[in-house]
Amino acid sequence: MDRIIITLTVTLAVAGCRSSEEAGTSGARQESQQPISTAAADSIAAVKRSSELTSVQDTLRASVVTHTKRERLPVRPIVHPKNPVYTVQLGAFADPQNALSFHKDAMERFGDLPVFNHYEAVDGLYRVSVGRFATLAEATKLRNTILKLHPKEYPECWVNYISR
């Protein structure tokens, strides 16, 4: 089979190829006017008889993907209340069931302190926090205690403030 392909390639290279424009036809196939050797003619006939060789044309379709910029949520200005109350925020959740479960766990751990589950409509998050302190120092002290006693449960708790 390799011999037939090599012979056919050599034959086509020797015979030369002409485009339909050079031949003066519009897509119709014309046989070459040059004489072909007997060996080349035999190999061409063998290739035509062979059902192993097929020609397949693949078409590549390209499409353009455009990315649009996502619209960002408006950043609300930070407004500090005049008389803030400080609390330690334990977590924020988009799913209300997760927030409720977290809230119940926090109530079991911090039963003597008030535990809040507050929904913030601006970003759609439920904030779970514990404690209600008049000064920032008291809230920071609770935060440090929580980090010492429960480092894995509340690793990113922070002091936050709410209005009275």
What pLDDT is recorded for position 28?
47
For tokens 């379709």, name the residue: 61
Kindly give the confidence (pLDDT) of every residue in the chain, 164 residues in length, as a single tens digit, with 9 standing for 90 and above.
Answer: 555 455 445 444 444 545 444 445 544 444 545 566 676 677 667 666 665 556 667 676 777 777 777 777 777 777 777 888 999 999 999 999 999 999 999 999 998 999 999 888 888 999 999 999 999 999 999 999 999 998 898 888 999 887 76
Give the predicted TM-score (pTM) of the model: 0.51
Phi, psi of 6 (to 5 degrees): -65, -45
3-state helix, strand, coil in the chain (%, to 5): 35, 20, 45
What pLDDT is recorded for position 73?
74
What pLDDT is recorded for position 68?
73
